[in-house]
A and B are shown apart, each in its own frame.
Chain A
């Protein structure tokens, strides 16, 4: 088998002595989507931030295309340029219009000519139904539109893999469907993705593999259907029962 795009090996991380990641192992093969589920505080966002080198890990290794990127000698900017991240709270730049927001990194960090970057950004905006929004500021957009802009900003740099941290609060059902559609489309386009989500239907329907995180460990993993419909571990069962009690899948 080929080398996975992302490989996490025994990663641990503690914040102020409090363990948050306790030996995570995970692989994301090319053109696949791996979805992480787990209770609030189980470490999903922390792991994504570690992969993006925004947070230093304590132990273990993270490999991107077989290269150990958590080596202190590796330039983090080079690694981040080939990864993209959609943050849980989007973290859009409030002082920049949608179009500038999207072209900033391609132009400044990737050296793509401005015209080309603009053209590409417009194509992406059109594809995600935001063609008439390029001159808006983030606070003029709805939550769902902001989420799509955050996604476009991330993939405009043509990343090797997309890290996606989905918002915790329940999106309204229409938006869930929309996000699902977008991710499906990205998958068809060949994108490699690692996604943290609270939407179980989403995990079941788009994931090639679902990992259940509990207190900083991957307690169980399997295909979407396996994990959501017939989980084996008691922790997974408890978590899913709780999720199903509060929202319909």
Chain B
């Protein structure tokens, strides 16, 4: 009586193992054929040496990489500063827009209008407008440093996007949560801070990370202001040597930063989906 279920379980496990092994073998074979074949196909073409020399030149890489890396450091610094500013301002805007206090009405109006406005304007245009427009005014006491202006432009543009993400997060919290927070005696501000915002932020971490990744790439837009960040350096090198390897080198630097972020995001979304299913199953 007890021997039978065990042997059945063993049979099933063995069958599963067999099919797993088979699947893996097929996947490996198929990968070798498709990717290996592709590489073979490309590298045996007549034009391949020219392609290799133009895009994958070891010499050009060695020559340009240190400068590009130095330029990339500007990208990283700019990204980090702008990211923090964007997080602060967009959270402020989102919270402001969810308040009802009549005294704050003008601020709500301004943030609503500017959000809609700046979401509609291409980021590169905002960078251009602020980066060249403000110095043209020659106002006393206003910064002229292109890096500062670039940071301001990116912050304005991205605050418009990210504040909407936070606002969606605040809306996603069940209204009963606010009721419960008020019912235990918290003030409106405390309810926002301790009960609504923590849940709102948690709900929007995936879209938030998505916007981080976009920003990390859009930092390259500041090159239009003549800031010699990675893309600009690569562009100059490429133009003077007619070799595109520096551009690929710059691209790989951006990828090195964004890919781990994307992978992290994927994992998080998967976990989130799993958790949600679990919650639904409990209901």
Chain A residues lying within 8 Å of B279, measured Cβ to Cβ, are: 139
Q: B190-223, CB under 8 A of A: which get 1 and which 0?
A: 1000110011001000000000000000000000
Dominant secondary structure at the B interface: helix
Q: Are B282 and A139 in contact (CB under 8 A)?
A: yes
In the docked arrangement, what's the CA distance between A153 and B185, Å?
Answer: 11
Residue among A92, A105, A139, A157 with max Cβ neighbours from chain B (10 Å): A105
CB <8 Å contact, A81 and B179: no
Interface centre among B179, B181, B183, B282 (most CB of A within 10 A): B183
CA distance A127 to B117 in the complex (A): 57
Q: A88-105: which residues lie under 8 A (CB-CB) from chain B?
A: 89, 91-95, 104-105
Q: Is the CB of B199 within 8 A of A105?
A: no
Report Cα–Cα, A193/B282, bound state, in Å: 31
Let me know if B187 and A154 touch, CB within 8 A: no
- B residues whose Cβ falls under 8 Å from a Cβ of A: 174, 176-177, 179-187, 190, 194-195, 198-199, 202, 279, 282
Instruction: State the CA gap A154–B181 with chains docked (Å).
Output: 11
Residues of B with C-beta under 8 A to A94: 199
CB of A13, distance to nearest CB on chain B (Å):
16
Residue of A nearest to B180 (CB): A91
| B-contact bits for A83-123, CB 8 A (1 contact / 0 none) | 11101010111110000000011001110000000000000
Q: Size class of A's contact patch?
A: 20 to 34
Q: Does A54 contact B (CB under 8 A)?
A: yes
Interface residues of A in 3-48 (CB under 8 A from B): none
Q: How far is the CA of A105 from the CA of B282 in the complex (A)?
A: 28
Interface residues of A in 165-212 (CB under 8 A from B): none
7 A-B pairs with the lowest CB-CB distances in the bound complex, closest first: A105-B184, A91-B180, A109-B185, A81-B185, A85-B183, A91-B176, A95-B198
Complex Cα gap A117–B183 (Å): 18
Q: A52: CB under 8 A from chain B? A: yes
* Chain A residue nearest to B201 in the complex (CB): A95
A230 at interface, CB cutoff 8 A: no
Asked, given contacts A89-B176, A93-B177, whether A105 binds B186 with beta carbons under 8 Å apart, the answer is: yes
A15 to B199, CA, bound (A): 29
Q: Is the CB–CB distance between A108 and B177 below 8 Å?
A: no
CB contacts (< 8 Å) of B176 on chain A: these are 87, 89, 91
- Judge if A80 is at the interface, Cβ distance under 8 Å: yes
A-B pairs with beta carbons under 8 Å apart, 18 shown? A49-B179, A52-B182, A77-B185, A81-B185, A87-B183, A89-B176, A91-B174, A91-B179, A95-B198, A95-B199, A105-B184, A105-B186, A108-B186, A108-B190, A108-B194, A109-B186, A154-B183, A157-B184
